[in-house]
Structure 1
Amino acid sequence: MWGWLVLAIGSEVAGTLALRASQGFSRLLPSVLTLGGYGLAFWSLSQALTRGMALGVAYGVWAAVGVAAVALIGALFLGESLTWVQLGGIVLVIGGVLALEMGGSGAHA
């Protein structure tokens, strides 16, 4: 299950980075990579769900890690700004996802 979710996150991040490079879908290769990345991301997410991962946990982890990864990659490699407030927001989102996961652990038994 978790392997599928990791693939979904990586594909979504790659698709989002390609979306930036596509310049409004005016460049062919980044546009194709965007569509392929998002397609693979949703398919992989569906595979994690099919194999028993809870929807709230899967979507929460996928979204939180994706947002954090894109924000950090943007700041580290693409010259985008990342303020302390934004970093705090990322920490809060990840904390919320962890709360979802830990709070639901009894429901899986």
Structure 2
Amino acid sequence: MGYLFLALAIVGEVVATSFLKVTSGPDARWWHYGIVVAGYGFAFTMLAQSLGKGVPLGIAYAVWAGVGVVLVALISWLVFKEPLTLVQLGGIVLVIGGVTMLELGGRHEAAA
């Protein structure tokens, strides 16, 4: 259950961060700012729930940050048409590898 809350935290953070880009443009609407605030509030609430269900802090934060970075980079490329270079793709691979190593090396008894 802790990892479900962590997944919800990631979704909230990615939505909020993506809407930061929308709020910086000329077509920003008042409700875009509400999505940013609500998204981050939701993300931190779900992250706290995840920790409360036993997901270790180091693992939760690494997964939250790493998956968030990768998803935001992909959304930036797909939705906002920002460039994604080979060096950046290499960085994404390294982030995924690092988060995977942290996850595989962590103890999971408390999260069950």
Q: TM-score, normalised by structure 1?
A: 0.91
What is the match of residue 17 of structure 1?
18
Letter paired with 1:17: S
Aligned-pair distance for 1:23? 1.9
Letter paired with 1:66: G
Residue 78 of structure 1 aligns to a residue whose secondary structure is coil
Aligned residues with identical type, % of pairs: 51
Letter paired with 2:69: V
Query: Which of structures 1 and 2 has the larger relative contact order (alpha carbons within 8 angstroms, sep 6+)?
Result: 2
Q: Is the 8 Å Cα contact of residues 22 and 29 (structure 1) preserved in structure 2? A: no
Name whichever of 46-55 and 14-23 sits farther off. 14-23
Aligned-pair distance for 1:76? 1.2
Spell out the pairing of 1:15-54 with structure 2 (5 A cutoff): 15-23=16-24, 27-54=29-56
**Distance in 1 (alpha carbons) for counterparts of 2:109 and 2:90:** 30
Deviating beyond 2 angstroms after TM superposition, the runs of 4 or more aligned structure 1 residues are none
Select the structure that is richer in helix: 1
Q: CA RMSD in A?
A: 1.6
Where do 5+ consecutive residues of structure 2 fail to align? none
Residue 46 of structure 1 aligns to a residue whose secondary structure is helix
What is the match of residue 95 of structure 2?
93
Letter paired with 1:75: W
Where do 5+ consecutive residues of structure 1 fail to align? none
**Distance in 2 (alpha carbons) for counterparts of 1:60 and 1:92:** 13
**Number of residue pairs matched by the alignment:** 107
